Structure 1
Amino acid sequence: MAHFRSHAVPILPVAEMSRSIAFYHQLRFSAKRYQNGDGYAFLERDGFELHLNRFETLVRDHNPCGVYFYLERGTAAALESEFREAGVRILSPLAPREWKMNEFVLEDPDGNLLRFGEPLE
C-alpha cells in the first residue's frame, strides 16, 4: 500500500482581492501566486496553505464561512498577541472552550471567521 501525506486547503470567498490580500499579509501570510488575474490567490504561512476566491457578490452576515487553525500547545497566546500588534481586531479573545480547546476568533474583511486554537490537555 502506498503511503502519502495529505492535507486540506481551505478556500475562502472574498469580495475584493487586494483588500483581502492586505488583511492576510497582516497575519503574515505571503502570496505564493495568483490565478485568473485577481480572481484566485494562493497564500502560505508556516507550511499552511490558504486560498482566496473572488466572488462578484457575497452575502454578508449570513452563515459566514470559516476555518480552524489548530496549533501546537503553548503558541496561541503568542499568535493572538502578534495579530493584535499588527492591528487585527480579535472578535473573541483567547479563552478555554467547552470542547477542550483554548481558542481565539477573528474575522477577515469578507466575514470569514478564523479560529485559532490549541488543545487544553
Structure 2
Amino acid sequence: MLQALVPMLRVPDVPAAVAWYRDALGLESCSDGSEGWAFLQRDGIELMLSAFNAHEGDCVPAFTGSLYLRCDDVDAWWQRLKDRARVCYPLEAFDYGMREFAIYDLNGFLLQFGTPISGSAP
C-alpha cells in the first residue's frame, strides 16, 4: 500500500527556498534548511527540499512537471501570490472544470493552484 507522494525538489540554496515557501505559502518547517535539507508542511501538503547532490550531477534546478495544489479559495491564493512571484498564467476558468492560475517559485519550479468550478468534477 502506498501512503503518500511527497515531492523533493533539489535547489541551490535550501534556506532561501525554505524562507520562500514559508513566506509565500505559509508552509512550516522545523528546520531553516541550513543542513542542506528541509521538510515543510501545511494543511496536509508536504514538500521536501534538498541541496544539490554531487552523485546526481545537479547544477541547476530542474523538473519538467508542475506541482498542482488544489485549494478551497483559489481567488484568495491569487491575491496573495500574484505580486510575490513570476506569473505563468493568471487566474482563469477552464473548460475542464477548474478555476486556476500558475506561478513560478524562486527557483523556477511551476506551481499551479486550482479550485473545481461549482458543479464540476476535477
Q: What secondary structure sits across from 2:77 in the alignment?
A: helix
* Alignment TM-score, normalising by the size of structure 2: 0.74
Partner of 2:79: 81
Q: Which structure 2 residues correspond to residues 1-121 of structure 1 after superposition, within 5 A?
A: 6-26=3-23, 27-33=25-31, 38-55=35-52, 57-59=58-60, 64-72=64-72, 75-84=73-82, 87-120=84-117, 121=120
Do the aligned partners of 1:65 and 1:111 also contact (CA within 8 Å) in 2?
Answer: no
Gaps of 5+ in 1: none
The 1:33/1:95 distance shift into structure 2, 3 A limit, reads: same
2:82 is paired with a residue of what secondary structure?
Answer: helix
Q: Is the 8 A contact 1:39 1:53 kept in 2?
A: yes
Consecutive unaligned residues of structure 2, counting only runs of 5 or more, are none
Q: Report the CA distance shift for 1:65/1:39 in structure 2 as closer, same or farther (over 3 A).
A: farther
Structure number with the bigger relative contact order (C-alpha 8 A, sep ≥ 6) is 1
* CA distance in 2 between partners of 1:113 and 1:69 (Å): 11
- Deviation >6 Å, runs of 4+: none
User: Cα gap change, 1:65/1:38 in structure 2, threshold over 3 Å: closer, same or farther?
Assistant: farther
Number of residues of Structure 1 aligned to a counterpart in Structure 2: 113
Q: 1:83 Cα deviation (Å)?
A: 2.1
Q: How far has the Cα of 1:59 moved from its partner?
A: 3.9
- Work out whether residues 89 and 101 of structure 2, in 8 Å CA contact, stay in contact via their aligned partners in 1: yes
CA deviation map 1:35-90 (0-9, x unaligned): 8x532210012221111122153446x65442111123xx00011112236x3333
Percentage of pairs with the same residue? 30
